[in-house]
Amino acid sequence: MKTVRHLVIALSALLAFSGCKKAGKGASGTAGGSGGGAVSGTAKSKAGTGGATTSGSGGATTNSAAKGPDDNSDVASQLKGPTDPARMPKAPDTPPAEVAARVIVVKYITANDPGDAKRNKDAASKRAALLAKLARQKDSDFVALAKKYSDAGEAPDRVYKIGPDSKLPFAKVAMALGEGQVSHPLGTRYGYYIVMRDKPQEVSTAHIQLVYKGAELAPVAFKRSKEDAKKLAQKVLAKALKGGNFSVLAATYSDSPSKMRGGVIRPLSEERLKKYAKGFDAYYKAALATEVGQVHDKVVETPYGFHIIKRLPLKKILAQHILIVFKGSAAAAAQTTTRRKEEARVLAGKVRLKVLRKKKSFEELARKYSEDAGSAQKGGMLPPFARGEMVPKFEQFAFALKPGAVSDVVESRMGFHIIKRVR
């Protein structure tokens, strides 16, 4: 959602939304789909956790020593430990808004884009079943297995960010797994996929930022010396470590615009830092080293100044909205409208009543009335988002809703919103 995201307020250089890395060849050799790069096209494959389940021996990939193209003894010989029940596929109680997943790909000679594969389809099916069993062994390292056995090409250890609208052929399987679980092999026209749902590759934080004169990215107006900033940071850190309310401390002391939302900022990832925020490694490392719910025990310095960091649980939700703009609101569509604020409020109220009457679906009404160009034609659907990614008022109401519920008319700097929580 372009219009709402433009007003995310927190560490602008640090928090610039990076999207997803440009996909490399991935599992099929081409990019496509959504959520961090994808295999091209959509495979007509069995969804869920089905697929090949037959085990056996025979077959080798081109990167492992074996007797012949259909010999799988190199994998079968590694099956020594017991299966870890926690790694068996089981759908989560609550459908996730987004997951991180890794895959092992087993190609065969007649698959689309077979690469260097020499094995036949039957041997590939058996190999995939063996690899799934191997990946579920207690203490098995999925990344190491992917590097050794996957036919994924350039990036066998790649992490895919997957949401409900992902076009990846293994997306439905990934969304149906619990964290740490390994799927049954999934047969597609690209080959067989063994999917593991990984831990999120992002970290959610709140911070208190204390800027000083001379800091690389400090606003010119700041006159505070570095010494004074550090002393104040130590004082605030002591309060936070003693159990002081972090949101109140942020609102009282922080120099960041994020103080208006308790210091919460957009989730960080290594990818985003490398691409858009060099120099913030110390912040990210400190966050990773801190337990969820705890305050990091040291003041951290970045090009902005000093930071007190609290790690938060990472939670993403899925929501739809209908945006009604007015002249003077911050949304892009407001630049061409002549609608006054009160007129927009009345129209938003009428649209909400239409939503509640359910004569037309939320998607239909969003396509007809919403003035958010980024989501209107998608039925108002927004990408999965965490706290710190939307304008505060919108975010506050979206997170407060239960799945399936519709908000009152919500005013933000963008205009008036009708929000529906999906999951």
Spell out the CATH class of 202-312.
alpha beta
CATH topology of domain 24-200: Chitinase A; domain 3 (3.10.50)
Q: Is the pLDDT confidence value at 64 over 80?
A: no
DSSP for 363-375, please give it. Answer: HHHHHHH---TTT
Work out the angle between the directed axes of helices 121-135 and 142-149 (0-180°, nearest 10).
160
Q: What is the pTM of this model?
A: 0.66
Which whole number is the average pLDDT over 257-280? Answer: 85
Q: Is the pLDDT confidence value at 293 over 70?
A: yes
* CA atoms of 110 and 221, how far apart (whole Å): 65
Quote the percentage of the chain above a pLDDT of 70: 83
Q: Is the pLDDT confidence value at 265 over 70?
A: yes
Which tens digits make up the pLDDT trace of 351-376? Answer: 999 999 999 999 999 999 999 988 99
| Widest distance between CA atoms in the chain | 77
DSSP for 221-238, please give it. Answer: T----HHHHHHHHHHHHH
Residue 273: what pLDDT? 81
Which whole number is the average pLDDT over 243-255? Answer: 97
Q: Is the pLDDT confidence value at 318 over 90?
A: yes
Q: Is the pLDDT confidence value at 16 over 50?
A: no
Which tens digits make up the pLDDT trace of 151-176? Answer: 987 788 889 999 888 999 999 999 99
Residue 349: what pLDDT? 97
pLDDT band at 68 (very low <50, low <70, confident <90, very high): low
Q: Is the pLDDT confidence value at 398 over 80?
A: yes
Which whole number is the average pLDDT over 186-196? Answer: 97
pLDDT band at 129 (very low <50, low <70, confident <90, very high): very high
Residue 277: what pLDDT? 67
Which whole number is the average pLDDT over 301-320? Answer: 95
Which whole number is the average pLDDT over 383-397? Answer: 92
Q: Which amino acid is at 310?
A: K
CATH of domain 316-421: 3.10.50.40
Q: How many helices (H) and strands (E) does the chain have?
A: 13, 13
Q: Is the pLDDT confidence value at 311 over 70?
A: yes
Residue 125: what pLDDT? 97
Q: Residue ranges of the domains in the chain?
A: 24-200, 202-312, 316-421
Residue scoring higher pLDDT (221 or 350): 350
Write down the mean pLDDT value for the chain.
84
Q: Is the pLDDT confidence value at 10 over 90?
A: no
Residue 67: what pLDDT? 53
State which of 36-50, 54-68, 296-310 shows the largest mean pLDDT.
296-310
* Residue 325 near residue 220 (C-beta atoms within 8 A): no
The H or E element spanning position 105 is: strand 99-106
* Residue 28 near residue 113 (C-beta atoms within 8 A): yes
Q: Which amino acid is at 166?
A: S
Q: Is the pLDDT confidence value at 403 over 80?
A: yes
- The candidate with the shortest Cα–Cα distance to 196, out of 38, 87, 107, 92, is 87
Q: Do domains 24-200 and 202-312 have the same CATH topology?
A: yes
pLDDT band at 270 (very low <50, low <70, confident <90, very high): confident
Q: Is the pLDDT confidence value at 77 over 50?
A: yes
Which tens digits make up the pLDDT trace of 201-239? Answer: 889 999 999 999 999 888 878 889 999 999 999 999 999
Considering only 81-90, 91-100, 255-264, 382-391, which range has the smallest mean pLDDT? 91-100
Which whole number is the average pLDDT over 45-64? Answer: 38
pLDDT band at 39 (very low <50, low <70, confident <90, very high): very low
Query: How many angstroms separate the Cα of 21 from the Cα of each of 31, 160, 308?
Result: 11, 10, 29
